Structure 1
Amino acid sequence: MADLLPKAWKSLWDVWDLRSFIFLSLFLQTLLVLVAPLRKKTSHGWIIVPLWSAYLLADWAANFAVGLIASSNSDPPTKDNSSTDYDLYAFWAPFLLVHLGGPDTITAFALEDNELWLRHLFGLLFQCIAVIYVFIQALPVKENLWIPTLLVFLSGIIKYAERTRSLYLASASSFRDSMLTEPDPGPNYAKLMDEYHSKKIARLPTRIEMLAEPDRVIKAANRFNKDDLTDLQVVQYAYRYFETFKGLVVGLIFSFRERNQSRDFFLARSAEDAFRVVEVELNFLYEVLFTKLPVVYDGLGYCCRCISSVAVIMSFVLFYYIDKENFQGFDVGVTYTLLLGAITLDVIAFAMLIFSDWTTVALRKSPDPDNSSTKSRSYRLRSWLLEIKTRKLNLSCFAVSLPIISRRWAETMSTYNLIYYCLNRRPRKRELIYDYMGLTTFLDEIWYVDCAGFDDKLRDFIFAELKGKSQMADDLETAREICSAKGEWVLRIKDYGRKELLPFVVDVDYDQSLLLWHIATDLCYNDKEDKPLNKDYRDIAKLISDYMIYLLVMQPNMMAAVAGIGLIRFRDTCAEASKFFKNSNVALPSNWFSSCFGRAMDPGVLQLACESILAVNTEVEPITIKGDRSKSVLFDAAILAHTLRKLPQKDTENGKVDKWFIISKVWVELLSFAATHIRSDSHAQQLSKGGDLITIVWLLMAHFGLGDQFQINEGHARAKLIVGK
């Protein structure tokens, strides 16, 4: 059979295949080191997609290159490849083991990767065997390369072992086991009761009293700074509460004392400081689950990292002094590139470790409530590290501000609007093609999802709502009742509650309530006659409304625990809305661009569509006429919108309130319900995609003591047998 490729091409491939994959592997490692830290700060596809591709290709490229080296060593020497080339090939093989160990900045792309730690352990064993095989084949060599090769091999084993151990520690079972305390059998019940019984038989006055934990222990644990927090204190407090509450990810329960300590601290905080602490705390959680940092930051990790770096540097020095006359000049350049690349990546990793929050807490974990050490050299050092990391970089006479570098999460909210989607739906034929190719969700994310900034007004409003509820939740029963509310808690408040709105949250499922309030919010938002008392409440309600529908429609796996048949209701509602708009006088997009890409639309079309829905006579409930086969809630939402429009302005102790004040509070309650009822691993998964507002709300509610994870009422009392009066 004739060769498929010309001999010249085949010869060129034989020469460049290994070298190409060597460079590709090094490039992918560099890309992962530099880009991976950004994925916790942005959700943009232009970062996530290349990073995902590099993560998948990195192991494949290194494994393939090792296979090429093993294959080339088994071939007889030719004029293009002498026996001395095999010596360099054997020297290159351990570098690929270093690459397989991966950078510190990423060990897992998703939580599921952590569960594959055993596969990586076997991979470590087999790759070590492959490198040893290559080395043995090249043993009868004239050049003294075996010592540098062994040094790089040692570095590769350490790097690969670090990655495997990081995956193991971040796996669900290991992560849960690491937080379990020593078994607590409690007081010696049998011995105490024997003594109690014997004293009773002897007719001695005997009783058992429970001695509470000394006040000095509780007061010492509850000491904290009540002033505004510095950047250093934010990191220290975040680490303290990370150590306490990281068990939320695996569903552990907490004591009432831990609840009170956290609740008291966050009740004394401003919205800005509270969110800063939670954001840093989530960063610690991200690094535990998706990076090598927890493995590096211990005594053994420091030693291994030093040995690994020193081994590569010594290998470089030894190779520099080796006679290289028998090697091809280009291959010597490739070897120097691998050595310098490994050293450079180690330097970058070392710099990242220095400026990491883990270094800050390693110098001093506990914050000083009294600010008595603000003049110490250690304090200035830690503050300087954080200043460089989180603030503008002063370069000579100007400053450079890089938000994506300094921020802790994406600080954006993805939004999705049902009515806008119905007005801009793609043609049915085109939709069928996309469904067949599996591109519908991907294209919807591009064409129908917008991105809104997370501003201070929204942050302050959410914090005020959660803080107010926490102040009312002195006992666990009230806290659980607040967390289980889907809007009814707000609507029952005496000062401004509206009981006529209760059926739209109490008598419906949660996903149905989301769609009802989303459409009703849109209808009120696009009302020409609407004159809000406070435009901020109107904007907040609109933003949270579109954000929650984004979660319902575009994140169904995340919302599965609370959404029920949300997607079915959404599709039925969209079908009814599209049919209604088609039969009404609403002008749908007719040009090719708008029908295909869903972006060009007359601003007045959305308002006209909302007015058309409100103009429909809804005197009779839709279910009476249509039955319940269709799960559409379009005109049920219109009934809710009519009810909201009729709400009068009301005077309260804090001033006048209107429908937007109530709607915005209902939306925060709907957001809070989802935050506390979504699976905890879904929250953890979002950390690798730029973070999400609902995850921040989830952790903030836990710190406010709102949730059902606090189930230990008394854990530190002691029983004492008292004889006598």
Structure 2
Amino acid sequence: MGNTKILAEAKNLWMKLNLRGAILTSLSLQVFLIFFAPMRKRWSNRWFTILMWSAYLVADSVAVYAFGLIAKVQIVGGGTSDSEVDAYGDLLAFWAPFLLLHLGGPDTITAFALEDNELWRRHLLNLLFQLGTACYVFYQYLPSNKLTVPTVLVFIGGTIKYIERTRALYLASFSKFRGSLLPSVGFDRDSHAPIEMMQEPNIESRDAGEQNKTDLDDREVIITAFFHFTTFKGILVELPLHLSQMNESFEFFGRMITAKDAFRVIEAELNFFYDVLYTKAAVVQSPTGYLFRAISIGSVVTAFALFYVLNKHGFHEYDVRITYTLLLGAVGLEFVALGRLICSDWTIALLGRFKKHRIGSTFEKFLLKFKSERSPFALHILHARWSRSIFQYNLIDSSLRRSPRRPPTRIEKLLGLIPLGALFDDLKPGRVEPYSDKLRELIFDELKRKQLVARNFESKMEICAARGEWALEHSETEQDCTNLLPFVCDVDYDESLLLWHVATELCYNTDPDETRNDRVNSKVLSDYMLHLMIKRPDMMSAVGGYGEIRFRYTCDEMDEFISKNPSDGSKTKISKERACQSLLSGFSKVEPRLQEGKIIRSVLAKACALARVLQNIEKEKRWKITSEVWVELLGYAAIHCRPYNYAQQLSKGGELVTLVWLLMAQLGFYRHLRVAVSPETDRLLENT
């Protein structure tokens, strides 16, 4: 009997400790998520992504597990004496609604990936089930519960938070998101209002204003980004746009705006997209959302005050501390969420409508100073939008790292039986480079130059389909590039990308001039595009073709060539410069066949031929042409990737190609454009 009693007491003690630990763990995960979830859109680190994914999944599981423990304690007892049973039960009933708060999640993350939004029905079912569980726990301790009023208040706050999350998931599901935009697409068939046609670009006025470009302040960036977000959010679900809908965008990006400001606007606009898809912004940023958020905060704060003044006689001291921790955590999370809500871009965009009111203008100025990069509080870091760096991958570098090859050891052979190598390779941090102001200027100037040339719908679609040939035929250098056209016109896109990557690397390492901006920009874009093709094939799925297969064949030939050509008197390593010179001389007698039908093979020979053609061009013109081609290759990939993939990427740090895609769409380079000749014709087209 004695042993049985000891085991029962030990079991009850373990249950109590387990319950307390689960509740505190649930609170800790909420604190982690509210502060660190926003960082995932500006930090593309695999380890951090795994950590966020784990916290996102475990947070719900721990809260549900704690609910189960509370219900189990009610059945088997909590290991307390008869005089403490009622007090402990009252606390259990009070703790249950806090788990609803936790299941509602922080405002900074509702979905980890787009697929989570499609599971809103599951969350709705969980909401109903957990509400029922909380009500059952509360009912068990009525009517003698000393914490009835605080429990009801926290229950109200928790229910609101959970409903907010479920509704945010519902609104962000692609079917609902697309459906909500359909009424605003096109024009009312019964309306006889004239359609504003796209006007011809005023080249003279733009050129005259180029010398008077002014920087946009933070307020103008946010308000402009919000306007374009409301106009262009249909492109995220591939809805068609009229040319007339782009008039404002043409005017804004075509007037006196710098490349830096253009990218700032695009970054802010993508931030609105991110908030709608992955946070509670779509629910909270509305009059109804503000009302319910006020109720939620008021309920939690009032519950804290009531518990503070309550006579706590009969409660265990440790349980009281846990309750205070839960209350302080709930109040703290609510006020952190409120602070983020007030300081968000959404609030500044809303205040922009009331700029004539002095109070709104003063508050807006305070927020902008608070978020500014020059803020003395240094809190702008919390509101940073996107990473300002891009990943790099270089074919020759990877081959040199693998050289010289040696036979694998027995341990390596054993480890090779377990497919962990690829996993650890993916988790290694990749090489990154900042996308500098010069790179942004190159991209923006090239796209703007194309916009000025594309005066009608057909020319815009022609430029959308160009993958290097337009840049060669319309180079600003006025160089005859006829001998370069076969390297973009007679090969697939993925093969062309590999050709220009290797050729760029060969020219880069045999050209000692390190001060030329076009040379540096070409190198950065070259390595970035190869990173997309090899490490992010989902971003290149529409244009990738056999790129990965060609890449492997090319790597094998590169490895074989390097192993047969040691240099610099070293038997272990070959320098990169010497490797490039050896490649150019080693393949000098090889005549590459540009037309190979469906044969897939290494591109080294053709890349060396391309490099030799480029080297025959004057240096300044060579790197200008190369940079123009790389911008067009980047733009082609950006236009032809599905917007769904860009939406997925927003939660993983964003990509330069995403910024370019949105910028090109707002310059009119969008594959789903519609041309309205007249209101009558447009209505006829819609009826058919």
TM-score, L = length of structure 1:
0.85
- Which residue, 486, 498, 509 being the options, matches 1:503? 486
Matching residue of 1:63? 64
Matching residue of 1:416? 393
- Which residue, 262, 266, 280 being the options, matches 2:249? 262
Q: What is the letter of the counterpart of residue 380 of structure 1?
A: T
Higher mean displacement: 303-312 or 156-165: 303-312
Contact 1:465–1:668 (CA under 8 A) maintained in structure 2? yes
Matching residue of 1:174? 176
CA shift for structure 1 position 23: 0.7
CA shift for structure 1 position 682: 1.1
Q: Deviations over 1:148-181 (max 9, x none)?
A: 2122111111101100000010110011011111
Contact 1:516–1:640 (CA under 8 A) maintained in structure 2? yes
Matching residue of 2:338? 350
Q: Deviations over 1:269-313 (max 9, x none)?
A: 211211111111011111001000110011211111111111112
- Which residue, 534, 537, 546 being the options, matches 2:527? 546
Cα pair distance change 1:687/1:91, threshold 3 Å: same
Q: Deviations over 1:567-624 (max 9, x none)?
A: 1111111111112212222589998xxxxxxxxxx6x611222122112144343559
Q: What is the letter of the counterpart of residue 607 of structure 1?
A: E
Contact 1:415–1:449 (CA under 8 A) maintained in structure 2? yes
Report whether the alignment pairs 1:469 with 2:450. Answer: yes
Contact 1:533–1:658 (CA under 8 A) maintained in structure 2? no
Matching residue of 1:599? none
Contact 2:34–2:108 (CA under 8 A) maintained in structure 1? yes
Contact 2:499–2:604 (CA under 8 A) maintained in structure 1? yes
Contact 1:573–1:633 (CA under 8 A) maintained in structure 2? yes
Contact 1:240–1:365 (CA under 8 A) maintained in structure 2? no
CA shift for structure 1 position 8: 9.2
Matching residue of 2:44? 43
- Which residue, 626, 633, 639 being the options, matches 1:676? 639
Q: Deviations over 1:317-375 (max 9, x none)?
A: 22223322111011011111111110111011111111001111122249x8xxxx5x9
Contact 1:25–1:58 (CA under 8 A) maintained in structure 2? yes
Q: Which stretches in structure 1 are left out of the alignment for 5+ residues?
A: 190-209, 219-224, 592-601, 650-656, 721-725
Cα pair distance change 1:378/1:43, threshold 3 Å: same
Contact 1:73–1:138 (CA under 8 A) maintained in structure 2? no
CA shift for structure 1 position 481: 0.8
- Which residue, 373, 394, 416 being the options, matches 1:391? 373
Report whether the alignment pairs 1:694 with 2:657. Answer: yes
Report whether the alignment pairs 1:233 with 2:220. Answer: yes
| SS of alignment partner, residue 708 of structure 1 | coil
Report whether the alignment pairs 1:610 with 2:580. Answer: yes
CA shift for structure 1 position 78: 3.3
Matching residue of 1:86? 89
Q: What is the letter of the counterpart of residue 29 of structure 1?
A: Q
Cα pair distance change 1:7/1:134, threshold 3 Å: closer
Matching residue of 1:521? 504
Cα pair distance change 1:719/1:673, threshold 3 Å: closer
Query: Number of matched residues?
Result: 662
Structure 2 Cα separation of the partners of residues 719 and 469 of structure 1: 27
Q: What is the letter of the counterpart of residue 183 of structure 2?
A: T
CA shift for structure 1 position 228: 3.5
Q: What is the letter of the counterpart of residue 643 of structure 1?
A: V
Structure 2 Cα separation of the partners of residues 453 and 500 of structure 1: 33
Cα pair distance change 1:427/1:177, threshold 3 Å: farther
Cα pair distance change 1:415/1:244, threshold 3 Å: same
Structure 2 Cα separation of the partners of residues 445 and 8 of structure 1: 49
Higher mean displacement: 553-562 or 178-187: 178-187
Cα pair distance change 1:64/1:474, threshold 3 Å: same
Q: Deviations over 1:126-157 (max 9, x none)?
A: 1111112222222253x422222122111111
TM-score, L = length of structure 2:
0.89
| SS of alignment partner, residue 452 of structure 1 | strand
Contact 1:415–1:546 (CA under 8 A) maintained in structure 2? yes
Matching residue of 2:114? 111
CA shift for structure 1 position 713: 2.0
Q: What is the letter of the counterpart of residue 149 of structure 1?
A: T
Matching residue of 1:192? none
Q: What is the letter of the counterpart of residue 466 of structure 1?
A: L
CA shift for structure 1 position 316: 1.7
| SS of alignment partner, residue 365 of structure 2 | helix
Structure 2 Cα separation of the partners of residues 211 and 299 of structure 1: 31
Structure 2 Cα separation of the partners of residues 551 and 504 of structure 1: 20
Matches within 5 A, 1:640-651: 640-648=610-618
Report whether the alignment pairs 1:165 with 2:176. Answer: no
Q: Whose helix proportion is higher, 1 or 2?
A: 2
Structure 1 Cα separation of the partners of residues 119 and 283 of structure 2: 17
Report whether the alignment pairs 1:456 with 2:437. Answer: yes
CA shift for structure 1 position 507: 0.7
Matches within 5 A, 1:482-497: 482-493=463-474, 495-497=478-480
Matches within 5 A, 1:371-410: 376-394=358-376, 400=378, 404-405=381-382, 407-410=384-387
Q: Which stretches in structure 2 are left out of the alignment for 5+ residues?
A: 201-211, 684-688
Higher mean displacement: 612-621 or 349-358: 612-621
Contact 1:424–1:588 (CA under 8 A) maintained in structure 2? no
Cα pair distance change 1:553/1:57, threshold 3 Å: same
CA shift for structure 1 position 68: 0.5
Cα pair distance change 1:406/1:140, threshold 3 Å: closer
Q: Deviations over 1:526-585 (max 9, x none)?
A: 11xx25596111100000000000000000122111101111111111111112212222
- Which residue, 303, 306, 310 being the options, matches 1:315? 303
Matching residue of 1:654? none
Structure 2 Cα separation of the partners of residues 213 and 711 of structure 1: 12
Across the aligned residues of Structure 1 and Structure 2, the Cα RMSD in angstroms comes to 3.4
| SS of alignment partner, residue 138 of structure 1 | coil
Contact 1:441–1:554 (CA under 8 A) maintained in structure 2? no
Contact 2:181–2:234 (CA under 8 A) maintained in structure 1? yes
Q: What is the letter of the counterpart of residue 563 of structure 1?
A: G
Contact 1:85–1:327 (CA under 8 A) maintained in structure 2? yes
Q: What is the letter of the counterpart of residue 69 of structure 2?
A: L
Matching residue of 1:638? 608
| SS of alignment partner, residue 391 of structure 2 | strand
Aligned identity (percent) is: 44
Q: What is the letter of the counterpart of residue 699 of structure 1?
A: L
| SS of alignment partner, residue 432 of structure 2 | strand
Higher mean displacement: 272-281 or 94-103: 272-281
Structure 2 Cα separation of the partners of residues 479 and 183 of structure 1: 21
Higher mean displacement: 689-698 or 227-236: 227-236
Cα pair distance change 1:625/1:339, threshold 3 Å: closer
Contact 2:46–2:427 (CA under 8 A) maintained in structure 1? no
Q: What is the letter of the counterpart of residue 384 of structure 1?
A: F
CA shift for structure 1 position 520: 0.8
Structure 1 Cα separation of the partners of residues 626 and 579 of structure 2: 21
Structure 2 Cα separation of the partners of residues 716 and 549 of structure 1: 46
Structure 2 Cα separation of the partners of residues 59 and 275 of structure 1: 37
CA shift for structure 1 position 469: 0.5
Matching residue of 2:686? none
